[in-house]
Structure 1
Amino acid sequence: MNNVLITGFTGQVGSQLADYIIDKTDDAVIGMMRWQEPMDNIYHLTDRINRKDRVFIKYADLNDYVSIYNLIESTRPKFIFHLAAQSFPRTSFDIPIETLQTNIIGTANLLECVRKLKQQHGYNPVVHVCSSSEVYGRAKVGEALNEDTQFHGASPYSISKIGTDYLGRFYGEAYGIRTFVTRMGTHTGPRRSDVFFESTVAKQIALIEAGHQEPKLKVGNLASVRTFQDARDAVRAYYLLACKSEAGGVPNGEAFNIAGEEAFKLTEVIELLLSFSSRNDIEIVTDTDRLRPIDADYQMFDNTKIKNFIDWKPEIKASDMFRDLLQHWRSEISSGRIPLNR
């Protein structure tokens, strides 16, 4: 049984990846987290964790080099899925330095640990560096984004991910570390953080249905068109790419777009989510606190490259994904876990 390390284990994507590995492989999951992180997305795994049944929690912090080194040195995972980040673009305008520190320096800390262990002990794992489609920023309307599209940072977050992206490529090319980089488009589904657009819309609908919010749906900029995909499809691509890299089929530092193939205007996302509700009195209002100083308004992607490397395509329909997301918030609220209205 091999170890697989997931940084960002408690997030939506990290927890979905853990579920995939447990279900589809014989590997053990090493979930990296900080001691104070919320456990909401991994409560379904706590019985396994308590029994030490293929899921293990290890405490470390990307900004603490020693903790990262000790974690990797002691567990020697065959795959490292580096998903941990300050991941909310809007928040990055309020905490730009922390965003840059965690996402760029934190990634450098992790890659430096791998480099040192490779140099000293010949340890050579596959390292997945999770970048973001936000690196493309303010793309031209009508342009299908591929891996050669020029970067255009549109937030401190996107700039931090540009740095992360380059680090993944550099450590692969310069030091022979088996890295690959992914730039995932907008992804959602159950466990999506409530600060992201489609999740906050679904959350507010569920709050209104339960009588915890007046029937006013607060939104920011709706002048955006983008593809959506289910995170459960994306993690399958992550693992397949890692296996391909282990087999020598992915050049070090190679980057891949991973995106859905169903596109929506944000107004259409709202209409679809509202269509799943029996409430017909919900008013849509603009909340200036939800607006970014600059926005990535157009994100349509070309998945050709990843399909040339692995047998993958999105399988979960967007309508099912959005319905599952709304049901996730209904379940949370019915269980007494009332989320903040943000």
Structure 2
Amino acid sequence: MAKKILITGITGQVGSQLADYVLQHTDFDVVGMMRWQEPMDNLYHLTSRINRKDRISLYYADLNDGAALSRMLRDLRPDYISHLAAQSYPKTSFNIPIETLQTNIIGTASLLEAIRQMREVDGYNPVVHVCSSSEVYGKAKPGVPLSEETAFHGASPYSISKIGTDYLGRFYGEAYGIRTFVTRMGTHSGPRRSDVFFESTVAKQIALIEAGLQDPVIKVGNLSSTRTFQDARDAVRAYFLLLEASEKGNIPCGECFNIAGEEVFKLPEVIDLLLSLSTRDDIKVATDEDRLRPIDADYQMFDNTKIRAAIDWKPEISARQMFTDLLNHWRDEIGKGKIPLNR
């Protein structure tokens, strides 16, 4: 019987790309947890397989419904769980802090507690990937690469919620022996990246300008940040390799890992690169006050030593290719008549 992986948050960029990776590189069955009203845009290329139940299916549940999570685990009993579902937008979290904390902290606790209770009853013991975020480091000290031992400094309700998520993943591994591990992914992008994130909104605006749907001015927020970038398709490969290593017992319960790109950009350099890929040469850049956060995580440089010692992994997709694919993604979406909000 094929092994089964449950991906919470499968409709997101990373969840959908993890599903793609598993379907392409393994014989595992994939089950994606989603809320019934979520958009399916990132899964349309898989709907024929989903309809045929060809190694992939969907399960409707919500992190804020503990009973639904328990029922899902009893029904599915997955061998692996990659917990990616979250309220994942830092800027939005300033407007909905309570929902962000409820979904990301209490929702994660509900999932892990349901696993713990099943383990006590019948020994159920899946490998559980808990997705934290590099945002846990928040207002980090410039000039010092961030390692797994760097102190946390929440810079948004989102980052504070992910600090809670991070601690929960480690606690349930260390206290109860659940085979958890925690990942803190640095800035990641590529096709399907939501337009609420910096480089994606820039690419989206360039595509809108090229299509004659926006004046030739890109609106941006704070550009003082320096960070590494990586393609999410590289990151999901790391996720899967960590799942395999944990199953083999090569990773202690509750271990945490940074996963980050190794190409460094100041945000104006990202704009310049994307503009160099445009068919237009008259595009200007302007600051939009509505895009500024009350506080920013403006230094995101990482030390990948720990993860590269644990698994045979390194980023393979260049940043230029990632940004090219991102811009082409928005050109394709707009070319299909899907006109996105200017946000």
Relative to the length of structure 1, the TM-score reads 1.00
User: Which residue does the alignment assign to 2:297?
Assistant: 296
Distance 1:90 1:73 in 2: 36
The Cα shift of 1:317 comes to 0.3
User: Which residue does the alignment assign to 1:40?
Assistant: 41
Distance 2:47 2:99 in 1: 30
The Cα shift of 1:227 comes to 0.2
Query: Aligned AA for 2:88?
Result: S
User: Which residue does the alignment assign to 2:274?
Assistant: 273
User: Which residue does the alignment assign to 1:10?
Assistant: 11
Deviations for 1:24-54, whole angstroms, at most 9, x for unmatched residues?
0000000000000000000000000000000
Distance 1:149 1:46 in 2: 42
Distance 1:338 1:2 in 2: 40
Deviations for 1:311-339, whole angstroms, at most 9, x for unmatched residues?
00000000000000000000000001110
Task: Give the 5 Å matches for 1:99-248.
Answer: 99-248=100-249
Query: Aligned AA for 1:80?
Result: I
Deviations for 1:162-198, whole angstroms, at most 9, x for unmatched residues?
0000000000011110000000000000000010000
Deviations for 1:191-234, whole angstroms, at most 9, x for unmatched residues?
00010000000000000000111111000000000000000000
Distance 2:225 2:266 in 1: 6
Distance 2:263 2:44 in 1: 31
Distance 1:278 1:68 in 2: 48
Query: Aligned AA for 1:233?
Result: D
Distance 1:51 1:302 in 2: 43
Query: Aligned AA for 1:318?
Result: A
Deviations for 1:144-168, whole angstroms, at most 9, x for unmatched residues?
0000000000000000000000000
SS of equivalent to 1:214: coil
Deviations for 1:71-120, whole angstroms, at most 9, x for unmatched residues?
11111111100000000100000000000000000000000110011010
Query: Aligned AA for 2:77?
Result: R
What count of residue pairs does the alignment treat as equivalent? 342
Query: Aligned AA for 1:138?
Result: K
Distance 1:186 1:72 in 2: 31
The Cα shift of 1:258 comes to 0.1
Distance 2:73 2:194 in 1: 28
Distance 1:277 1:231 in 2: 22
Query: Aligned AA for 1:161?
Result: K
Task: Give the 5 Å matches for 1:85-96.
Answer: 85-96=86-97
The Cα shift of 1:278 comes to 1.8
SS of equivalent to 2:301: strand
Distance 2:189 2:284 in 1: 24
Task: Give the 5 Å matches for 1:38-77.
Answer: 38-77=39-78
The Cα shift of 1:283 comes to 1.1
Distance 1:239 1:85 in 2: 19
Distance 1:294 1:57 in 2: 37
Query: Aligned AA for 1:111?
Result: L
**Structure 2 stretches lacking a partner, 5+ long:** none
**Structure 1 stretches lacking a partner, 5+ long:** none
Query: Aligned AA for 2:3?
Result: N
Distance 1:315 1:102 in 2: 33
The Cα shift of 1:2 comes to 1.1
The Cα shift of 1:286 comes to 0.3
The Cα shift of 1:280 comes to 1.1
User: Which residue does the alignment assign to 1:329?
Assistant: 330
SS of equivalent to 1:144: coil
Relative to the length of structure 2, the TM-score reads 0.99
Query: Aligned AA for 1:96?
Result: P
Distance 2:238 2:59 in 1: 25
Distance 2:199 2:123 in 1: 44
Distance 1:69 1:27 in 2: 22
Query: Aligned AA for 1:57?
Result: L
